Amino acid sequence: MADFEQFVANRSGALLRSAYLLCAGDRGAAEDLLQDVLERMYPRWKRLKGEPEAYVRAALANASANRWRRRSRRVSETPLTDEPRTAVSGPEDQVAARDEVVRALGALPERMRAVIVLRFYEDMTEADTADALGCGIGTVKSQTSRGLAKLRQLLGETVGATNGH
């Protein structure tokens, strides 16, 4: 299965970044999640139809949701900060800002987090996201709206602050 090995060699970094976001910044959990999904994909690889990366990304989102449901684990909602936000300037600030976003993603319910990650990090359409998660487009739209509102709240942003209004 050289094509599977080639896929893993070429795409595992990007897939791990997606898993990292789906696991709310827990690198160990992200590595486990990706390994589990790729392990399940291996025997089915030759039978996959369409774009294998889209299939693997959908499997990551679903496996992440299933893992959280099985463990009945709740992400602690640690307050991010009450301090006013400042402009990101140097590399340290960029890392801190990224970590803050990852923590905010971790505070979202699992399905909502999956929708946000697939829509905005993976740049999937509403229809592709709905297919990947096995839900309707209306669910994707509502989860996107609620998820973005929650992220704005958690990150201390107002709707107008990001677009200059």
Domain ranges of the chain: 2-78+87-163
Please write down the long-range contacts of 122-131, taking CB distance under 8 Å and 24 or more positions apart: 122/18, 122/57, 124/54, 124/57, 128/54, 131/58
Regions of the chain short of the pLDDT cut 50 = 72-85, 158-165
Q: What is the pLDDT of residue 74?
A: 45
Q: What is the pLDDT of residue 78?
A: 42
* Pick among 3.40.1190.10, 3.40.50.300, 1.20.140.160, 3.20.20.70: CATH of 2-78+87-163: 1.20.140.160
Q: What is the pLDDT of residue 71?
A: 54
Taking the C-alpha atoms of residue 116 and residue 126, their distance in angstroms, rounded to an integer, is: 10
Give alpha helix (H) positions in the chain: 2-22, 27-41, 52-71, 91-106, 110-116, 126-133, 137-155, 159-163
Q: What is the pLDDT of residue 79?
A: 45
Q: What is the pLDDT of residue 89?
A: 60
pTM, full prediction: 0.59
DSSP notation for 68-85: HHHHT----------SPP
